[in-house]
């Protein structure tokens, strides 16, 4: 079995080093260690990640390859990483340069794939703070994502902790939509397409990845902007994949209903505490993002890079 671990990076040398160390420390207890290759695609034309690759390459336990994508944008870099995967690879795993995997991460993704005969497997991403954060962030769980029992079937996913059959990606006309260069959401778009084609996406709750949250993100402004962007890309993806008047009206109704509900809850949420009030504001922001996406407006969140 061969697995290609695809990583894209941009101006995060410390995060990339942490990630590569985490990959180097992967353990396999229930299955034989697969033939691994790690592909790092640097989206910085100045090749700022190259010193890390040179530093670690000599003693890295598996094949470590480095390439540069000069065209700025997440899907350009992700597509180049997939193109760099060996022709005989069986699975492609995606993980981000601000994350570190648990030592059993890859084995658990592979075991879930075998157990559930899945085409793609998705695992949880848990927040890790290197600084003290406000109580309202902890109480509101703003950086905690939904989790499911292992085997739960999904209709969409992101690429921050994912394993996909390589043959499925090879059959696609394109993998990541390059029109979404700086908006984010090209991974959501991919997995919604895979789901629409009838592929099976399952959750592996024990395949853990930890995400380093920089201080620049632990504030209300960034949280509201992220909520807006997620709603925006959700609607943009659905309108692109299922362009119809019915989908348009459904999202207008969904976004409008959520805005009204959120505004009605403002007084109650304010009384219940700061974290409840801010969660309601995020809910409203997400809803406005849905409406803007339906109207064709995109928000380029990744014009700004938050380093870890």
* 158-201 tens-digit pLDDT: 999 999 999 999 999 999 999 888 888 899 999 999 999 999 99
Cα distances (angstroms) measured from residue 24 to each of 96, 160, 169: 15, 18, 25
* 143-158 tens-digit pLDDT: 999 999 999 999 999 9
C-beta separation of 166 from 4 below 8 A: yes
Q: pLDDT at position 308, please?
A: 60
* 216-228 tens-digit pLDDT: 999 999 999 999 9
Strand pairing report for 91-95 and 2-9: parallel
Mean pLDDT across the chain, nearest whole number? 94
Query: Which pTM value belongs to this model?
Result: 0.93
Q: pLDDT at position 62, please?
A: 95
CB atoms within 10 A of CB 122: 28
Per the structure block, which two tokens stand in for 211? 């995400």
Give the span between the Cα atoms of 12 and 306, in whole angstroms.
9
Environment class of 77 (CB within 10 Å of its CB; exposed 0-12, middle 13-18, buried 19+)? buried
Per the structure block, which two tokens stand in for 253? 């109704």
Q: If DSSP codes are grouped into helix, strand and coil, which group holds residue 222? A: helix
Q: pLDDT at position 104, please?
A: 98
Give the span between the Cα atoms of 95 and 269, in whole angstroms.
36
> Does 303 have pLDDT greater than 70?
no
> Does 54 have pLDDT greater than 80?
yes
Per the structure block, which two tokens stand in for 10? 């941009």
C-beta separation of 122 from 162 below 8 A: yes
């Amino acid at each position: 079995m061969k697995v290609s671990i695809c990583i894209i990076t941009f101006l995060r040398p410390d995060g990339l080093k942490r990630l590569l160390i985490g990959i180097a420390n992967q353990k396999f207890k229930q299955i034989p260690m697969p033939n691994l290759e790690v592909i790092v695609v640097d989206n910085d034309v100045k090749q700022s990640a190259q010193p890390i690759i040179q530093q670690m390459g000599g003693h890295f336990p598996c094949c470590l390859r480095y390439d540069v994508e000069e065209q700025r944008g997440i899907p350009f870099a992700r597509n180049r990483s997939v193109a760099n995967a060996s022709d005989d690879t069986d699975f492609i795993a995606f993980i981000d340069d601000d994350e570190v995997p648990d030592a059993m991460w890859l084995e658990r993704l592979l075991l879930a794939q075998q157990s559930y005969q899945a085409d793609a497997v998705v695992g949880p991403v848990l927040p890790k703070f290197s600084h003290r954060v406000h109580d309202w962030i902890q109480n509101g769980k703003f950086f905690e994502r939904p989790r499911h029992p292992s085997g739960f079937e999904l209709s969409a996913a992101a690429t921050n902790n994912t394993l996909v059959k390589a043959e499925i990606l090879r059959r696609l006309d394109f993998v990541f939509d390059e029109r979404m260069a700086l908006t984010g959401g090209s991974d959501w778009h991919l997995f919604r397409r895979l789901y629409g084609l009838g592929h099976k996406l399952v959750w592996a709750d024990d395949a853990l990845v930890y995400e380093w949250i920089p201080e620049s993100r632990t504030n209300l402004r960034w949280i509201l902007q992220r909520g807006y962007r997620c709603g925006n890309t959700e609607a943009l993806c659905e309108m692109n994949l299922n362009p119809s008047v019915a989908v348009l009206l459904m999202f207008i109704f969904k976004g409008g209903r959520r805005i009204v509900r959120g505004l009605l809850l403002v007084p109650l949420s304010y009384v219940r505490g700061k974290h409840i009030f801010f969660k309601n504001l995020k809910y409203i922001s997400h809803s406005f993002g849905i409406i803007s996406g339906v109207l064709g407006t995109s928000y380029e969140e990744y014009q700004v890079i938050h380093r870890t």
